Structure 1
Amino acid sequence: MIKRQIVLDTETTGMNSSPPYYIGHRIIEIGIVEIINRNITNNNFHIYLNPQQNISLDAFNIHGLSNQFLSDKPFFSKIANNLLKYIKGSELIIHNAQFDIDFLNYELSLLKNNLPNIENICKVKDTLKIARNLFPGKRNSLNSLCKRFNINKSKRNLHGALLDARLLANVFLSMTTCQNTFKLECLRIKNSSIKNTSLFNKKNKNKNPLIILSSQEELELHKLQLRLIKKKCGFHLWK
């Protein structure tokens, strides 16, 4: 069975300091990376958009996209149907998903074409929530996760939707591998064992240890086994 997941990121003209973050701002870049059966494909979706409004200085310092650069790019209304067609029926992988979903739904609502909300045509998985569950109390920004999983982010001098989607795709695959899950499970079991052992020692610290001595028959069988090993391997096991 084919499982299609798409990793999505956006850049915007800015954001409000408190929710709703999207009011009065627009999307200026969408970058999407496709994953089929846990393999990253080259079937990307990437578009720059003309927001028809000024980009805030704070946002420009993050992504470096200017109004001059975006002046000849298409409006969101021109690419909306292609975007929805591309993502429909897939599982969306987004870091801090609510931010991007709210911005996309806001853009769709401005068209007044009764287009569906993103979450009505896709499943949404938030990698920030996954990271916080795996690494509670740690920094879980995209930069921090790339560093944690040894993913090369040297080209990320500025934020970019397609670049960040590519990085997030690798982070997501790293966070959801069976091997990683196994290691974390082993760590939980180890920590649990340490706690249980400590508890056992506290309960029994004033008691004499239980010593079980080998019987004479068991000792003779052990010596016989050592002789057989010595004969087979051709070296002395003891003096």
Structure 2
Amino acid sequence: MRHIILDTETTGLEWKKGNRVVEIGCVELVERRPTGRTFHKYLNPDREFEAGAQEVTGLTLEFLADKPRFAEVADEFLAFVDGAELVIHNAAFDMGFLEYELSRLGEGYGRLRDRVTVVDSLDLARKRFPGQRNSLDALCKRLGVDNSHRQLHGALLDAQLLAEAWLALTSGQGEIGFAAAEPVAGARGGRFPLPAMPTGPRPSIAVPAEDLALHAARVEAIRRKAGHCVWDVPEAAEADAVAAVG
């Protein structure tokens, strides 16, 4: 199974107001393992940022001025994601923007949804953790994914973090070491080797004299306080008790 973990950054919150994609980040997983293949592009939006959007990403129009436009990378992007299952946090947001970008290129490109299937990791998180915050930062913290280096939103960084969070969110026991003994080289959070069972006779341990003396003193203290001690049962009485049970 081929998954593409995807994230975008935009000039604003609504594509219906003409906002554009300024960054696309994708991470490829095959059989739930990172392949090392990524897709990452900054894009010239040919428009201003909405208030607040620029502060979220740290991107500026000056930085994006010499970057390609979506039309210039559309074929490469579609080839990268074609046939995959996209994993997106709040999928409606990113898919809305990407479909809008494709629609601007004409009918020849069709719809992105006709090329891929989509899984919304936010929806999965809400079902697993109802009533809790399920932003990417909150999910990383809850699932033990280190996001300390995430100071600003960035499409590729967020896709990488989401890949780790999604694997943790959807993992079963067989994937975290309970079902297999063989290790998988280079796998993070993969299967771990089970320790070998010990062989040969068990070691004989000699109890030091001072420990025996301390034990005897402790038993005597119990005897004085309780009137008896389980170690005071005569051997004959113990044998009778064993025989009665047997």
Residue matched to 1:15: 13
| Aligned mate of 2:111, from 117, 140, 147 | 117
Counterparts of 2:113 and 2:105, CA distance in 1: 17
| Aligned mate of 2:123, from 129, 145, 163 | 129
Unpaired runs of at least 5, structure 2:
177-240
Name the count of aligned residue pairs.
182
Letter in 2 for 1:175: L
CA contact (8 A) 1:174 1:180 kept: no
Letter in 1 for 2:64: L
| Aligned mate of 1:82, from 59, 76, 79 | 76
Residue matched to 2:164: 170
* Alignment RMSD: 2.1
2:24 is the counterpart of 1:26: no
Counterparts of 2:47 and 2:28, CA distance in 1: 30
Q: Secondary structure at the match of 1:5?
A: strand
How far apart are 1:112 and its partner, in Å?
A: 1.2
Cα deviation per residue 1:39-86 (whole Å; 9 max; x = unaligned)? Answer: 112100000000011112310110010000000000100011111111
TM-score (norm 2): 0.70
Residues 160/224 of structure 1: CA separation in 2 closer, same or farther (3 Å cut): farther
Residues 179/54 of structure 1: CA separation in 2 closer, same or farther (3 Å cut): same
Runs of at least 4 residues of structure 1 off by over 2 A? 179-182, 222-227
| Aligned mate of 2:3, from 5, 8, 21 | 5
TM-score (norm 1): 0.72
CA contact (8 A) 1:50 1:76 kept: yes
Counterparts of 1:86 and 1:27, CA distance in 2: 17
Letter in 1 for 2:160: R
Q: Secondary structure at the match of 1:163?
A: helix
How far apart are 1:223 and its partner, in Å?
A: 3.6
Q: Secondary structure at the match of 1:28?
A: strand
How far apart are 1:179 and its partner, in Å?
A: 2.5
The structure with more radius of gyration: 2
Counterparts of 2:245 and 2:152, CA distance in 1: 67
Counterparts of 1:154 and 1:71, CA distance in 2: 30
Which has the bigger relative contact order, CA under 8 A and spacing at least 6? 1
How far apart are 1:225 and its partner, in Å?
A: 9.7
Please list, as runs of the form range in 1=range in 2, the aligned pairs for 1:150-161 lying within 5 A after superposition. 150-161=144-155
CA contact (8 A) 1:93 1:124 kept: yes
Residue matched to 2:135: 141
